[in-house]
Amino acid sequence: MQVDEIRQAYLDFFQNREHAVIPRANLVPHEDPTTLFTGSGMQPLLPYLLGQPHPKGGRLVNRQPCFRAEDVEEVGDNRHTTFFEMLGNWSLGDYFKSRQLEWFFRFLTEEVGLDPARLSVTVFAGDEDLGIPRDEESAEVWQSLFASVDITAETAYVGSDDDGGDRGIHAGERIFYYDGSKNWWSRVGEPSEMPEGEPGGPDSEVFFDFGTEHDPGYGTYCHPNCDCGRFLEIGNSVFMQYVKRADGFGELPQKNVDFGGGLERIAAAAADNPDVFKIDLIWPVIDALQSISGSRYEDEAESFRVIADHLRSAVFMATDGVTPSNSQQGYVLRRLVRRAVRHGLRIGIDQGVIERLAPVAMEVYQDSYPEIAQRQPEVIQLLQKEEAVFRQTIRKGIKEFDKLVGKAEPSANNTLTGEIIFKLYDTYGFPVELSFEEARKRDITIADDWKSVFEQEMQKQRDRSRTAAKGQFKGGLGGEGDIHRKYHTATHLMYRALREVLGNHVLQHGSNITDERLRFDFSHPDKLAEEEKHRIEELVNERIEKDLKVTSEELPTGEAFDRGAYGAFGDTYGDRVKVYSMDEENGENYSFEICGGPHVERTSELAEGGRRFKIKKEESSSAGVRRIKAVLE
């Protein structure tokens, strides 16, 4: 089956079993500030799993695009991706273990056509110390299901991964008991880590056996949870069955099912190929890469996989409203685009990664996700701009590389040192990996101690920054005279106004004050429009006219941030910090910012002599960072 067919078959299968098909959630969770991205199909439904009634009833099904930033560095093997689609079905106080496991088994074997003899499952081994029994009910259901297709399924106690690696799989074993580190779900981890009142329960995972040779680098023996690649997890049924109480664990009055299955992985199992990048959702990008680069996938698999994966992630992020920046979701998107471009350079693509490949990545989704097609022009334009900015950084870096290292044949005089790598990185934004690439192209030696020297230079830079910051704050960022106090206070008002007008992605990247003006660097991807500058001026002048009282207090650093204090991006702080507040008449903090400089006592002092706040210049400071120069005149 093709991926689109599997996706639709899954929705139809559960819709025919009285499940309501619910829409997907945005890739950026708007109601959950604890995480940057939607990383599972369950995440948007957590309130309903915790007891809130769902308007569509107690049986739900959907497909959910997901992104997991923690997997960025894992991409490159044949199964890890940052972006994936999760097929999900839920029972909110309706059916439970027997029906859930049977339905998923029937879907895999009868709808998708997987050979049941290639399936293995895991169940919860229990926790005797906590009084939680092993999940024999799920094991018995699985034995019955395998027996229905004439397969005798023996059970085995594995315990932890290490134990599994020590014992391996014995003949006839197909149902494996693992402990709470693998087959238990709660929001906080294992059963022993759960606080009183926290719900959780056992889960049961299904694995497809590709029959590939075990890699002893992952342990002496293979088992379903082994990372060697022979077994691939394709679905997990979570049974929310228990609640932690003061005297142990008790049964929940409403038991829920939360199922999630990886669409790409199920498709790889259907194709009987452990390489998920060869499924028809991803292979078109790989194939286009082969044509554009002139390289073969088999020869450059890591770079091909990184580009294909990161483009899919970038396309969905941008479609769901993320723009490249230096913070939060925007930073992740920027990193993905730049990693894709870097790997493109590795395989000979010197330009047009987005222009030539993003349309291919989008085309395969346009029927299932119409919003991809609707926003294609603006998404491609946005991602192209980010690629162009990064390529300009690369061009500058290569010129400086040639100046610093030279183009001559290898010699003692043109070794790539840690000092040079740091200068390219720190001054020109040139990625460390590209310094290595350029050295390899020119057959230039890389110093053995490059890493320790690079880290020493990084530490020196941090120390210089801290010393400079202390000196600036001691002297009021240039002095402690009356005008410096006014400009310093105006900077705080402008910072808040920037966030109001442009968004909360705005973070301070630097500040400097003289007798004549203030200068402020901040994260923002685009040039400010005239109306945006006028609105920022209006907001600052309004707060000056309101005569806000300026107060300060010293707080523990953690408490300051917990209370919402702003700090300069990338700055490090001690145990305690000084925080300045500018309060509205209703008591609300208009500005609440960590700072060590001098300030006026009331904002009306900035207007003495008839002065008003005015932006004189707005320009680019560096990639993704803008600079404002403003005055009181």
pLDDT tens-digit series, residues 337-377: 988 998 998 888 888 899 999 999 999 998 999 899 988 99
118 phi and psi angles, rounded to 5 deg: -95, 5
Q: What is the pLDDT of residue 361?
A: 93
Find all residues with CB under 8 Å of 288, minimum gap 6, and list them. Answer: 356, 357, 360
CATH topology of domain 3-278: BirA Bifunctional Protein; domain 2 (3.30.930)
The burial of 446, by beta-carbon neighbours within 10 Å (0-12 exposed, 13-18 middle, 19 or more buried), is given as middle
The encoded tokens of residue 441 equal: 């192209």
User: Any idea where the domains of the chain sit in the sequence?
Assistant: 3-278, 283-394, 406-474, 476-632
Q: Which residues of the chain have pLDDT under 70?
A: 30-34, 160-165, 326, 406-413, 462-481, 558, 562, 568-575, 586-587, 622-624
3-class secondary-structure state, position 36: coil
What average pLDDT does the chain have? 86
* Separation between Cα atoms, residue 405 and residue 492, nearest integer Å: 43
> What's the residue count for the chain?
633
CATH topology of domain 476-632: Threonyl-tRNA Synthetase; Chain A, domain 2 (3.30.980)
3-class secondary-structure state, position 599: coil
* Separation between Cα atoms, residue 204 and residue 183, nearest integer Å: 6
219, 223, 233 from 226: Cα distances, Å = 8, 5, 10
Task: Tell me the residue ranges of DSSP E strands in 246-329.
Answer: 248-262
10, 21, 55, 206, 278 from 265: Cα distances, Å = 14, 22, 31, 11, 11
Q: What is the pLDDT of residue 208?
A: 96
Which of 332, 269, 343, 331 lies closest to 306, judged by CA? 343
Q: What is the pLDDT of residue 293?
A: 92
CA angle, 435 as apex, 430 and 441 as ends, to 5°? 135
Q: What is the pLDDT of residue 570?
A: 44
Find all residues with CB under 8 Å of 507, minimum gap 6, and list them. Answer: 326, 327, 522, 523, 568, 569
Alpha helices in 125-273 (DSSP H): 136-147, 161-167, 263-270
